[in-house]
Amino acid sequence: MKLLVTGAAGGIGTRLRQMLPAIYKDIRWSDITKPADLAPGAEFVAADLAKMNEVEKMVAGVDAIIHLGGFSVEGPWETILQANIIGTYNLFEAAYRAGVKRVIFATSNHAVGMYPRDEKIGVNVTVRPDSRYGISKCFGESVGAFYADKHGMRVTCIRIGNFADTPIDKRRLSIFLHPEDLVQLLRIGLEHPQIKYEIFYGASDNAAAWWDNSNAHKFGYRPRHKAEDFRAEALAAQDKLPPDPIGDYFQGGAFSSAEYDADRRQS
């Protein structure tokens, strides 16, 4: 398998550059600029996702793509539009033209961040984004569904929680995703023969989980890591944070409370 990983310079991409070469021997890495710590001999193609001609060169000759690229936090609409909406469409369209068989789209918990924390949700709920960034991830999930349903591309969308070695506050006890567990989800998306179009939650085995991840388990996902192992440390850190009544009510945390001026009693 010739694998392309976009967003190679980002936080998740940087960690995957340490982990994936032990599993997949032929990887092309891409970002808008070359990472300074790229391994010697690693293949790299620079590309601006908003420029179709650059994206076409980036995807040429690959069999599968892990799409992490884009703007990874909330930002101005024009920034989100170019990197995450136009960029994601370009990625899928160029992949289709190039005959790419599988795409894994790194979506986000922020696509459903306006659900309250006391409501456990599965993958088939209506999206309720908490930000412009979250809107872009809803768009990406829809684009993936289009190329899967219309063109037979095998697409896996992973709604990533908090990618880290340990959870660092109360919210992250519910959405913690250890890097090794993410790699397991990626391997399912790249290798499982029955993938068509699927959404998984990117979360480890968290006792306080807000998400029903049975769809991922159906495909063999068995997370090895537990947020609960770090509960005491996470709650101690939480005690030092200022209160956020809105962010503490919704799953999206600070993304949910930013710009919030609705009447929460109507939520």
Distance CA 216, CA 236 (A): 31
- Give CA–CA dist 148/120, Å, rounded: 27
- Of 27, 65, 261, give the one whose Cα is nearest residue 147: 65
Q: Which active-site residues does the annotation give?
A: 133
Residue closest to 132 by CA, chosen among 255, 267, 260: 255
DSSP state of 82: I
Two structure tokens written together for 194: 């029955």
- Cα 260 versus chain centre, distance: 24
Taking each helix axis from N to C terminus, what angle separates 52-59 and 87-97, rounded to the nearest 10 degrees?
A: 50
